[in-house]
Amino acid sequence: MASTPVSELTERAREVFRMVVESYLGSGAPVGSRTISRLPGLNLSPASIRNVMQDLEELGLLSHPHTSAGRVPTESGLRLFVDGMMQAAEPSAEERAAIEARIERGGPVEEALAAATAALSGLSACAGIVLVPSASRCCVNWASSSSRRPRRWR
């Protein structure tokens, strides 16, 4: 089945899809329309939510284990959700200025890594993690030497 770009979904479908996936990831159980209708931020009846869920099911993003169960995200639905989370917006001029100001301050590498993690986390509204290899595992794979002054051969 071809992947459905998130841009092809209506705003309503994106919001219902997001709520279904987040509820499913939180509970591990199929999510029903009534559960979604009780969540804040979406003013739709359970019947309207069922219609949207059916549309998402036809797109291959949701499925339901049996007739009376709620919906669960499919593998392609989860992939779309994760890909959507990973899309980062271009930082605003203000955010870019804050990042550049931090870089110009200098300081220990640890502080720079902590600042980079905080900036990425803030910009993406997701957790930020920076991993650095331990010094004992680092090795030189290649080295080169060159002279700044040309050698004079006689």
Q: What is the pLDDT of residue 92?
A: 77
What is the tens place of the pLDDT at every residue in 14-42? 899 989 999 998 888 999 999 999 988 88
The CA-atom distances, in angstroms, between 53 and each of 17, 19, 121 are 8, 11, 31
Q: What is the pLDDT of residue 1?
A: 47
Helices marked H in 3-108 — which ranges?
A: 11-27, 33-37, 46-58, 75-86, 93-105
What is the tens place of the pLDDT at every residue in 118-128? 777 776 666 66
CATH of 6-86, one of 1.10.540.10, 1.10.10.10, 3.40.190.10, 3.30.70.260: 1.10.10.10
Mean pLDDT to the nearest integer, 100-118:
75
Q: Which residues pair with 72 in a beta bridge?
A: 63
Q: Which residue has the higher pLDDT, 124 or 152?
A: 124
CA distance 56 to 16: 9
What residues does each domain of the chain span? 6-86, 93-130
